[in-house]
Each structure stands twice: as structure tokens, then as C-alpha cells.
């Protein structure tokens, strides 16, 4: 439970995952019991997140920095992002052991920084957090 920073609900925000039961089932399997999980499209998150009660500690999980940027542009109050598991694929550059980025990702991170969102890499709570902009 500790690894979700006290969250009691996890909202996975990604248009593709919101439509894909198999990906949803896989994600549900790796999460701790007792934490609610929802799968929302970017637009549903923008439309719905403001209705959450104060007692709900929501952890937003997105597949790409572009998803987070869309949320921020849509008015979702994101203050900081812990970047992890952006896997290496063709055309990406590895900047950290768990983070690889392409030009689109870098563009999204820069726009997030301009919007005042802190972005850092911290694999485990005991590891020091690294500002992603020192890695890009």
C-alpha cells in the first residue's frame, strides 16, 4: 500500500487502455487489494476528476507524458509526476534505467514544465528522486 503514496483509488488514464479489457485485467492483477482502480479515457478524467470527494486520494496513472499534458490542459490539477517504466523502443533514447523517450515525449515534458508540473524519476521510495529535466 505504501508504494501508492497513500492513494485509495487509482485512475488509469489512457484512451486505448480504457477500451481494452485484457490490459485492464493485467493491471488489476499487479495492484494491492483494497485499492479501487478505474480505467478512464483522457476526456472522462477531465470531465470527472473534479467530482471526487476530498477524502479520495487519487493516484493518476498515464501511459505517456502526452496523456498527462492533455489532463493538465483540460484543467486537472497535476502538481508532480513520477516518471517510470517508459520502455525502450525503436526511435527512443534511454535517459535512465527505466525511462526512454522520443521527441514527442520530450516535447510533452517541456510543456508540462512550462505548466509548472514537477517531473521526476524515482523507482523506489528509498531512491533519491531525479529531476527529469536533468536527464533530458
Q: Copy the grid coordinates of residue 59.
A: 493516484
In order of 53, 67, 76, 96, the CA distances from 70 in angstroms are 22, 5, 9, 24
Query: What's residue 32's pLDDT?
Result: 67
Q: Please give the average per-residue pLDDT across 43-53, as a whole number.
A: 92
Intrachain domains 1-63 and 64-136 with the same fold: yes
CATH 1.10.3470.10 fits 1-63, yes or no: no
Q: Please give the average per-residue pLDDT across 68-74, as a whole number.
A: 97
Q: Copy the grid coordinates of residue 91.
A: 526511435
pLDDT at 50 over 60: yes
Domain boundaries, the chain: 1-63, 64-136
Of the pLDDT bands very low, low, confident and very high (cuts 50, 70, 90), residue 5 is low
Cβ pair 10, 36 in contact under 8 A: yes
Query: What's residue 2's pLDDT?
Result: 44
Of the pLDDT bands very low, low, confident and very high (cuts 50, 70, 90), residue 36 is confident
Q: Taking the domain 64-136, which CATH number applies?
A: 3.40.35.10
Amino acid at each position: 500500500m505504501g508504494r501508492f503514496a497513500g492513494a485509495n483509488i487509482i485512475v488509469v488514464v489512457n484512451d486505448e487502455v480504457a477500451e481494452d479489457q485484457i490490459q485492464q485485467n493485467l493491471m488489476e492483477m499487479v495492484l494491492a487489494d483494497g485499492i479501487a482502480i478505474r480505467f478512464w479515457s483522457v476526456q472522462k478524467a477531465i470531465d470527472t476528476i473534479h467530482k471526487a470527494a476530498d477524502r479520495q486520494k487519487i493516484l493518476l496513472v498515464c501511459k505517456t507524458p502526452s496523456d498527462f499534458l492533455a489532463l493538465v490542459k483540460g484543467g486537472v490539477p497535476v502538481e508532480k509526476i513520477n516518471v517510470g517504466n517508459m520502455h525502450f523502443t525503436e526511435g527512443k533514447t534511454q535517459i535512465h534505467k527505466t525511462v526512454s523517450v522520443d521527441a514527442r515525449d520530450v516535447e510533452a515534458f517541456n510543456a508540462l514544465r512550462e505548466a509548472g508540473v514537477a517531473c521526476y524519476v524515482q523507482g523506489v521510495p528509498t531512491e533519491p528522486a531525479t529531476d527529469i529535466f536533468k536527464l533530458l
